[in-house]
Amino acid sequence: MTKVLVAGGAGYIGSHACKTLAAQGFVPVTVDNLATGWAQAVRYGPFVQADLNDRAAMDAVFADHAPAAVLHFAASSLVGEAMREPAKYWRNNVMGALTLTEAAVAAGCLNMVFSSTCAVYGEQDGVVLTEDSPLAPLNAYGSSKRAIEEILRDFGVSNGLRSVIFRYFNVAGADPDGEVGECHRPETHLIPVMLEAIDGQREALVINGDDYDTHDGTCIRDYVHVTDLAEAHVLGLKWLLDGRESRVFNLGTGSGFSVREVISHARAATGRKVPHRFGPRRPGDAAVLVSGSRRAIEDLGWSPGHSSLKRMIADAWAWHKKGGYPG
Ligand code: UDP
């Protein structure tokens, strides 16, 4: 069976990708330092606890497992934190990716699927973002991901590394079977924070600004189900294993929802009120980020079939009530 190195396989998106990989006959070998991931989330293949910046540990993983490809999820990924601690983002994200890529190339593993982000685009006048939109990140999270995209292109020229770069929009939901789900400490993402407020685990959801230039004043995002994202990664992996060229794909649905709209969907999905109040804007936030995802649908054959807001909130709510991980 084909082994795949999954950097960050103990995290939210990586663990779902491992489940989909295993279901499709691959062996996901998780490498994770557990800084934000969970050992309990590693259920579908071997686990190596190591930091991507540890070159000797990376060389050993490639020697021990001879993976056919790398799926690289491991990163710091919070906009608010990136505004306060940019060094963390440059060190963890860029240096970690560089060390991993050097080790992969040295081992002759020349296929990489990389988790990038719509934050590489920044603010672009309310247009739907395509893969050809200019890159203008507003925060160190987006800047660090743009830098890694460039590293992968450079290694493509120098060493023949081929990459599929996925620019994710807003990932949400949980495994429909409830085996893995979203679990951040502390939690900052809109949907899980909202569910904590519904459940009385926090006093209220604080809406980050209601004076944006959008129809209701709150930020608009394009939410995509984590299971659909995981399926895209297996398609990207197969794309590379079929010998196809490096490519960038957006992963979103093309439909944007404001924070207020997400709240009203959550009320409908859970049958409960969402305690909320308004706070200031969060520095580094773009008003609107909506994906043009035709390329992934047409070229990769991707179909975001789980990504209705209703379904994403229902799956996240089921996971929340189950109280999965830690302990
Ligand atoms: N948001 C909010 N309150 C929260 C968390 C998020 O108003 O407690 C807003 C956030 O400012 C953004 C949107 O919800 O406009 C999605 O934020 P999230 O952190 O989930 O994802 P991001 O867009 O940063 O990747």
Condensed to tens digits (0 to 9), the pLDDT of residues 103-142 reads 999 999 999 999 999 999 998 876 789 999 999 999 999 9
Q: Which uninterrupted H or E stretch holds 299? A: helix 294-299
77 Cα nearest atom in ligand 1? 25
* pLDDT at residue number 127: 78
Which residue among 89, 141, 212, 325 is the active-site one? 141
CA dist 313 and 172 (Å) reads: 8
Q: Which uninterrupted H or E stretch holds 147? A: helix 140-159
**Residue 145 C-alpha to ligand 1 middle, in angstroms?**
19
**Residue 189 C-alpha to ligand 1 middle, in angstroms?**
6
Positions in the chain short of pLDDT 50: none
* pLDDT at residue number 31: 98
Cα distances from 320 to residues 169, 174, 252, 257, 313, in angstroms, run: 22, 9, 23, 22, 10
Architecture field, domain 3-172+223-251:
3-Layer(aba) Sandwich (3.40)
* pLDDT at residue number 126: 66
* pLDDT at residue number 49: 98
Angle of CA points 161, 167, 170, to nearest 5°: 150
Q: How far is CA 170 from the centre of its chain?
A: 8
Name the residue type at position 275.
P
* pLDDT at residue number 175: 98
User: If you take atom 25 of ligand 1, which residue's CA is the nearest one?
Assistant: 170
Q: Where are the domains of the chain?
A: 3-172+223-251
289 Cα nearest atom in ligand 1? 23
CA dist 276 and 288 (Å) reads: 21
* pLDDT at residue number 71: 98
Mutate to test the pocket of ligand 1, among 139, 276, 282 (most ligand atoms within 8 A of CB): 282
141 assigned to active site: yes
Name the residue type at position 93.
N
User: If you take atom 19 of ligand 1, which residue's CA is the nearest one?
Assistant: 189
208 Cα nearest atom in ligand 1? 7
194 Cα nearest atom in ligand 1? 8
Residues whose beta carbon lies within 6 Å of some atom of ligand 1? 79, 170, 188-190, 193, 205-208, 219, 221, 259, 282, 285
**Residue 291 phi, psi dihedral angles, 5° rounding:** -90, 140
Cα distances from 241 to residues 113, 174, 184, in angstroms, run: 11, 28, 32
